[in-house]
């Protein structure tokens, strides 16, 4: 069994409090993880400025190259993991064993992280809209169009309160180190693997150890991260998002309520888009905030729901190492059952039909975990509660709604795929402020273009554009690029 220490700016610290990470099927312990206390983290934050300082001593281009080397180490290397070593295959097995994700999905997530790391230069170029990266490093500089601009870092280190159940979210923090900002990571209790492996890959690729801290622990540690870091990201449910709404120090990531809208001009050809709809609902076991949880159309909704149910209803829960396993397990005891009970409660409302019901029971309970097989609901109007639900498994409501009411009725939507050629509808979608990512055309909600910002531009979150006036003769020659 592996012992994973706390990392205090790169230095291992073994706590007297340990949390055991167990295999979700066998109950076998896989790792003992040192647990931090909030005060320990707060005390370490004295050295957060040093994290930025050591990173600023390395030019951003150089850091990007190191991050690219780290990508290869992360994907292919055998890296230190606490008091042991971990090959990529060990990593996949461990991540699957503790999170319940099928192994092939863990491998796919590794590829996603690898892609982001290896394309870091292009991503930063896209996210900064071509800004000379020295300006981030120096805090100011001259743009090619001859204008002095300033981007001021708002924190020397960014805090991340990470989830247990969705390894895909790690892509969000990967650009932080190349922007010369330190990392304070609080891993999810069941997913310590990615933060540790990524940190080890970074260190081996030459990123200074003083730039990264990892503090596994309980709620007090999460609270300490948010209190101690001037910029943090937290992942949670709707309540978490509501709690931090409007707080400029915290970027809260929660449910996506991502949707596909079929315009009146194309809805009669809905069958053409069925594969795209299935992929949006089903890929990655429906766990992500970018998975589609609502398909809205003014007509044919019963046929659409029926066709989705025929594709998704028969899917069975398979062992995590099965190459065809498509469903992730709920590893927290009782979680699958309580979700199913919530769904059953909403089903009592008039206007809701459970279209996957004929394909057998959805709740599958094993000794130490539970599964929920895909669920397709039909809702006769947007007013029913089921039309606005999202769960962390393949779950979708097909909602009947006139096109002219859709935008007012859909509610907050992280990813909206709108299939329409109607220019007025397209413009209204473009102007809708409650839609975050907008796809026009049959693009799966789960297909992200990494060159575009996701849930807020991380550059804008970490740096503030501000006025910086400097007399022309005082502009150092090196900034006049």
Partner 1 sequence: MTATAPATSPDMAARVKAAREELDRHTYEIVQWHFHPSTGCPFWLEHAKQLKFDPLKEIKGFDDLKKFDLFQDEWLRGGPVRRWVPQAYANKPIYVFETGGTTGTPKSRISIDDFRIDYELFSKTLPDEYFPPGANWLMLGPSGPRRLRLAVEHLCQYRGGICFCIDLDPRWVIKLIKKGWMEHLEAYKQHCIDQALTILDAGHDIRCMFTTPKLLEALALALEKRGQTIRGVGITGIFSGGTEFTPQFTRFAVEELLDGAYMTPTYGNTLMGLACSKPVSAAEGYKITYYAPQPRAVIEVVDFDDPSRVVDYGQTGRVKLTTLTKEFFVPGFLERDEGEREPPYEKYPWDGISGVRPYRALAESTTVGVY
108 lines the binding site for partner 1 (CB under 8 A): no
Task: Output the six-digit token pair for 159.
Answer: 């805090």
Residue span binding partner 1 (CB under 8 A) among the ranges 37-45, 109-117, 194-202, 268-276 = 37-45
C-beta of 82 vs 313, nearer to partner 1: 82
**In sequence order, which ranges of 229-376 are alpha helices (DSSP H)?**
238-244, 274-282, 301-312, 335-347
Give the span between the Cα atoms of 340 and 329, in whole angstroms. Answer: 14
Residue of 23, 24, 37, 282 that binds partner 1 (CB under 8 A): 37
46 lines the binding site for partner 1 (CB under 8 A): yes
Chain positions 185 to 214 lying near partner 1, rule: CB under 8 A, are none
CB burial of residue 404 (10 Å; 0-12, 13-18, 19+): exposed
Task: Output the six-digit token pair for 320.
Answer: 């995590």
Q: What DSSP string runs through 388-415?
A: G---SSSEEEEEE--HHHHHHHS-SEEE
Chain positions 342 to 371 lying near partner 1, rule: CB under 8 A, are none
The least CB distance from residue 461 to partner 1, in Å, is: 19
Size of the site for partner 1 (CB under 8 A): 17
Task: Output the six-digit token pair for 317.
Answer: 């829960």
Cβ-contact 379, 387 below 8 angstroms:
yes
- What is the DSSP code (8-state) at residue 216? -
230 lines the binding site for partner 1 (CB under 8 A): no
The residues with which 415 forms a beta bridge, in sequence order, are 437
220 lines the binding site for partner 1 (CB under 8 A): yes
C-beta of 40 vs 148, nearer to partner 1: 40
25 lines the binding site for partner 1 (CB under 8 A): no
Residue 320 three-state SS: coil
Q: Which of 235, 225, 192 lies closest to 95, judged by CA?
A: 192
Residue of 9, 15, 120, 301 that binds partner 1 (CB under 8 A): 15
* Cα→Cα distances 269→7, 295, 297, 447, Å: 55, 15, 12, 22
Chain positions 238 to 267 lying near partner 1, rule: CB under 8 A, are 239, 243
308 lines the binding site for partner 1 (CB under 8 A): no
42 lines the binding site for partner 1 (CB under 8 A): yes
The least CB distance from residue 15 to partner 1, in Å, is: 5
Chain positions 116 to 135 lying near partner 1, rule: CB under 8 A, are none
432 lines the binding site for partner 1 (CB under 8 A): no
The least CB distance from residue 227 to partner 1, in Å, is: 6
CB atoms within 10 A of CB 269: 11
C-beta of 46 vs 405, nearer to partner 1: 46
164 lines the binding site for partner 1 (CB under 8 A): no
Please report the sign of the dihedral spanned by the C-alpha atoms of residue 42, residue 44, residue 46, residue 50.
negative
40 lines the binding site for partner 1 (CB under 8 A): yes
Tell me whether strands 413-419 and 463-466 are parallel, antiparallel or unpaired.
Answer: unpaired
Residue 38 backbone dihedrals phi, psi, to 5 degrees = -55, -40
Residue of 11, 43, 122, 481 that binds partner 1 (CB under 8 A): 43
* Cα→Cα distances 36→135, 143, 185, 199, 217, Å: 36, 44, 12, 17, 5
17 lines the binding site for partner 1 (CB under 8 A): yes
C-beta of 16 vs 147, nearer to partner 1: 16
C-beta of 239 vs 471, nearer to partner 1: 239
39 lines the binding site for partner 1 (CB under 8 A): yes
232 lines the binding site for partner 1 (CB under 8 A): no
C-beta of 220 vs 271, nearer to partner 1: 220
Cβ-contact 200, 79 below 8 angstroms:
yes
CB burial of residue 80 (10 Å; 0-12, 13-18, 19+): middle
Residue of 55, 226, 309, 401 that binds partner 1 (CB under 8 A): 226
Residue span binding partner 1 (CB under 8 A) among the ranges 113-121, 219-227, 253-261, 368-376 = 219-227
CB atoms within 10 A of CB 398: 28
Which residues would be at the binding site for partner 1 (CB under 8 A)?
15-17, 35, 37-40, 42-43, 46, 220, 223, 226-227, 239, 243
């Amino acid at each position: 069994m592996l012992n994973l220490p706390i990392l205090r700016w790169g230095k291992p610290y073994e706590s007297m409090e340990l949390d055991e990470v167990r295999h979700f099927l066998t109950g076998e312990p896989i790792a003992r993880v040192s647990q931090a206390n909030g005060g320990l983290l707060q005390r370490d934050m004295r050295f957060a400025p040093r994290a930025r300082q050591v990173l600023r001593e390395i030019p951003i281009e150089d850091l990007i190259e190191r991050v690219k080397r780290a990508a290869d180490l992360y994907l292919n290397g055998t890296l230190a993991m606490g008091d042991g070593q971990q090959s990529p295959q060990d990593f996949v097995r461990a991540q699957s064993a503790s999170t319940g994700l099928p192994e092939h999905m863990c491998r796919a997530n590794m590829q996603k992280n690898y892609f982001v790391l290896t394309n870091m230069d292009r991503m930063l170029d896209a996210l900064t809209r071509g800004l000379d990266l020295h300006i981030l490093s120096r805090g100011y500089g001259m743009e090619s169009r001859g204008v002095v601009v300033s981007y001021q870092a708002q924190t020397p280190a960014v805090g991340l309160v990470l989830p247990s159940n969705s390894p895909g979210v790690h892509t969000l923090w990967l650009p932080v180190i190349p922007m010369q900002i330190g990392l304070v990571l609080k891993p999810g209790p069941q997913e310590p693997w990615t933060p540790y492996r990524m940190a080890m890959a970074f260190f081996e690729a030459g990123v200074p150890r003083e730039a990264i801290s990892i503090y596994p622990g309980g709620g007090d540690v999460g609270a300490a991260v948010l209190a101690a870091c001037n910029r943090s990201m937290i992942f949670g449910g709707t309540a978490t998002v509501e709690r931090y709404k409007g707080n400029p120090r915290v970027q809260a990531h929660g449910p996506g309520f991502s949707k596909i809208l079929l315009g009146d001009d194309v809805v009669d050809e809905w069958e053409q888009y069925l594969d795209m709809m299935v992929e949006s609902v089903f890929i990655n076991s429906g766990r992500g905030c970018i998975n589609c949880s609502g398909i809205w159309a003014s007509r044919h909704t019963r046929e659409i729901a029926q066709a989705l149910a025929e594709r998704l209803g028969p899917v069975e829960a398979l062992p995590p190492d099965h190459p065809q396993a498509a469903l992730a397990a709920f590893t927290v005891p009782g979680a699958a059952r309580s979700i199913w009970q919530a769904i059953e409660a909403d089903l009592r409302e008039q206007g809701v039909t459970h279209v996957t019901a004929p394909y057998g029971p959805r709740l599958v309970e094993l000794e130490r975990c539970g599964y929920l097989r895909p669920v397709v609901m039909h809702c006769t109007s947007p007013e029913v509660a089921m039309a606005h639900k999202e769960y962390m498994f393949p779950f979708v409501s097909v909602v009947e709604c006139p096109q002219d009411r859709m935008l007012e009725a859909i509610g907050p939507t992280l990813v909206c795929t709108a299939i329409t050629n109607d220019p007025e509808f397209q413009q209204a979608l473009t102007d809708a402020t409650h839609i975050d990512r907008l796809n026009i055309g049959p693009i799966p909600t789960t297909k992200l273009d990494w060159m575009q910002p996701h849930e807020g531009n991380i550059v804008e979150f970490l740096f503030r554009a501000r006025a910086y006036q400097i007399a022309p003769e005082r502009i150092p020659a090196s900034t006049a690029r």
